[in-house]
Structures are given as C-alpha cells and as structure tokens.
Amino acid sequence: MSDSKVLTKPKKSRRKRKEAIWAYLFIAPVVLGLFLFYLMPALASFGLSFTSWNGINPPEFIGLDNLIRLFQTDSFIRSMVNTLVFTLISVPLAVMLATGIAILLNQKIKGMVVYRTLYFLPVVTMPVAVGMVWKWLYNTDYGLLNYILGLLHLPQPAWLFDPNIALISVIVVYVWMTVGNNIILILAGLQGISETYYEAAEIDGASKLKQLFTITIPLLTPTLFFVFITGMISSLQVFDLIFIMIGDSHVLLEPLRTLVYGVYESGFEYSQMGYASAQAFLLFLMILVITIFQFAFQKKWVHYDG
C-alpha cells in the first residue's frame, strides 16, 4: 500500500505539470491576442488621453489639456448630451415595446415563429443599409412617411432636417432596429417562469391583469435588468446609423453628433489622436458609471428570489 503511494505521487505531479503545459498552449493564442489588441490598447488609450498625437510622430505629453479643451468645446458638450438623451429615450422605449410584444407572443398564439421572424429582421440587417433606407423613408418631399401623413392630412415634418426632431427621428430608427433582439431575450425570460405560479393565482381568483403585475413583471425583472444593461452599453456606442444619416450634411451634424462620432471625427478626420482618445476615455467612464449606477439600483426593482 505505502509503496504504491510513493510510486503514484511523482506520476500524479507529472500529469499535473503536463496538464498545465497543455492548458497554457490552449489559452495562449486568445490570451495573447486579447492582450495585444484589446487590453493593452485600452490602457494605452488612457495614457494617450494626456497627449497630443497626430498618429505619426511620437505622442507628446500635455497633461489635462485635452480634457480642459473638451469641456470648453460646445460640440463636445453637445455630443455628450445627445448620447445621453439618445440612450435614455431609446433603451427604455425599446424595452417597454419589446416587453409588451413578448408578453403577447407568449400567449400561445398561432404564428408565433412568423411574428418573431418579422420582428427580428432589422437586427440582422446591416446598420449602414438601415440608415440608408430610413433616410429615404424620412425624405421630406418624396419619402413614404410624409406621403402617408399627407394622405391623412397630418403635418409633414422635415424629419431629419428639423434640428428639434432630428435626434428623435434617429431614436425611432434605433428602436426599430433593436426591439427584435430585446423581444427574444424577454421571451426567453417569460418562458422560464414556472406555470405553477399562474396556477396558484388562478385558484386564488386573481385576474389576468393582476397576474401580469404580481407574477409576470416581477419574475421578469432579472431579464429586464440584463436587457437594460446590455442595451445601454451598446446604445451609448451608437455610430454607424448616425454616420450614414448625417451623410455630408452639415445641417445635421450638430443635432445628431454623438460621442463616438466625435472620436471618429477628431481621430481620423483631423488626426488629433490624443484628443480623440480623451473622448473615447470619457465615453468609457460614462458607460462604467451608468452600468455601476444600474447595478447599485437593481436592489430597488430586480427580484432574484423567483
């Protein structure tokens, strides 16, 4: 007995070492790739925020100058406000619409898959193409939308060219684009709610509406929380749609300018890479703060006891 123990011990540790070597080989490509193209650049971006850099000569340290300049620039303040407004309207709207539609789809109705497919089509469509199509739908003189409004004798606004409603017009497109993704997530959440809750409520004589607010919505809150977090993170980064909708129009630029648009413009149109990095870094901070804020407030509304 004692002999075999002595014999297996080095064998075991040899196998352990072999396992570790293989494991390092398996993870090496991804870990190195993520380090080189993601983690290191993220850290470098922080450093570059304090430099002046044209992308060719070595970066020159200028301290907080970029940040000071940003907060004195109207178009940057504008881009921050636009990004916040965009997110704070589009995400709740998309989540509310998606919740309503998902609850309807979950009523064991015929043709559920057909509806789900149709609602999801915009999600797989190239955002550049989405921007082009909606720009055409929104066309003041020849667009389908104003044609329909004209038939109904309603006012025909200049959707994208009226600075007061341009951002709202793009929010509508974004909601149209993302609602399908939310529907699928929420539908999965709904299907995870056990039938027994509803059976118990039926016995207690609770109405369908009461069941919705006392069972469905509370038990759905973890899913809604996830949809909110991921939805906000991606809507804060909106770019493709805005870029296409603006086109070469300088009229549209200010009402629709977002943080990522600013990063692109400063970095790659004006070659002010340090200045652009500072904006990217502030965007990251904004995402971080909003996400932390949401996690801090989840206790107030998310039920994990279901």
Partner 1 sequence: MNKKWLIHLVLIIGAVVMVTPFLWMVLTSLKSFGEAMQVPITIFPEEWLVKNYLDVFASIDMLRYYFNTLMVTLGRTLGQLILCSLAAFAFARMDFPGKNVIFILVLSVLMVPMQIILIPNYGILTSLGWIDTFYALIVPGMFSAFGVFLLRQFFLGIPKELDEAATIDGCSFFGIYWRIILPNATPGLIALGIFTILAAWNDFLWPLVMTNSEETRMLSVGIAAFQGQYSTDYPLLMAGAVLSTIPMLIMFIILQKHLVSGIALQGVRR
Smallest distance, Å, CB 64 to partner 1? 18
Residues 81-140 touching partner 1, rule: CB under 8 A, are 101, 104-105, 107, 109, 111, 115-122, 124-130, 132-134, 136-137, 139
User: Residue 185 interacts with partner 1 (CB under 8 A)?
Assistant: yes
Smallest distance, Å, CB 214 to partner 1? 20
Phi, psi of 129 (to 5 degrees): -70, -40
Separation of alpha carbons 259 and 103, rounded Å: 35
User: Residue 296 interacts with partner 1 (CB under 8 A)?
Assistant: no
Asked if 175 and 134 touch (Cβ cutoff 8 Å), the reply is no
Residues 248-267 touching partner 1, rule: CB under 8 A, are 248, 259-260, 263-264, 267
Smallest distance, Å, CB 247 to partner 1? 6
Nearer to partner 1 by C-beta: 167 or 238?
A: 238
- Chain CA centroid to CA 10, Å: 52
Stretch that binds partner 1, among 4-12, 64-72, 73-81, 235-243 (CB under 8 A): 235-243
User: Residue 161 interacts with partner 1 (CB under 8 A)?
Assistant: no
Angle 216-217-222 from CA coordinates, rounded to 5° = 105
Nearer to partner 1 by C-beta: 2 or 250?
A: 250
Place of tokens 């720009």: 135
Nearer to partner 1 by C-beta: 2 or 234?
A: 234
Joined together, the tokens standing for residue 6 give: 């002595």
Nearer to partner 1 by C-beta: 2 or 54?
A: 54
Stretch that binds partner 1, among 71-79, 156-164, 197-205, 273-281 (CB under 8 A): 273-281
Asked if 75 and 262 touch (Cβ cutoff 8 Å), the reply is yes
Place of tokens 């919740």: 99
Smallest distance, Å, CB 216 to partner 1? 15
- The helix (run of H) or strand (run of E) holding residue 300 is helix 273-301
Nearer to partner 1 by C-beta: 68 or 129?
A: 129
Asked if 239 and 127 touch (Cβ cutoff 8 Å), the reply is no
Taking the CA atoms of 95, 101, 104 and 106 in sequence, report the sign of the dihedral they define.
negative
- Look at residue 60 and give its three-state secondary structure: strand
The letter for the amino acid at 98 is A
Residues 201-230 touching partner 1, rule: CB under 8 A, are 222-223, 226-227, 230
- Other residues' Cβ atoms within 10 Å of the Cβ of residue 219: 18
Nearer to partner 1 by C-beta: 35 or 297?
A: 35
Separation of alpha carbons 224 and 98, rounded Å: 10
Smallest distance, Å, CB 3 to partner 1? 23
Nearer to partner 1 by C-beta: 129 or 200?
A: 129
Q: 60 pairs with which residues across the strands?
A: 52
Q: 52 pairs with which residues across the strands?
A: 60
Close Cβ partners of 295 (under 8 Å, ≥ 6 residues apart) = 229
Which one among 66, 178, 181, 216 touches partner 1, defined by CB under 8 A?
A: 181
Residues 36-55 touching partner 1, rule: CB under 8 A, are 36-42, 44-45, 48, 55
Query: Total number of residues binding partner 1 (CB under 8 A)?
Result: 93
Residues 16-35 touching partner 1, rule: CB under 8 A, are 16, 19-20, 22-24, 26-27, 29-31, 33-34
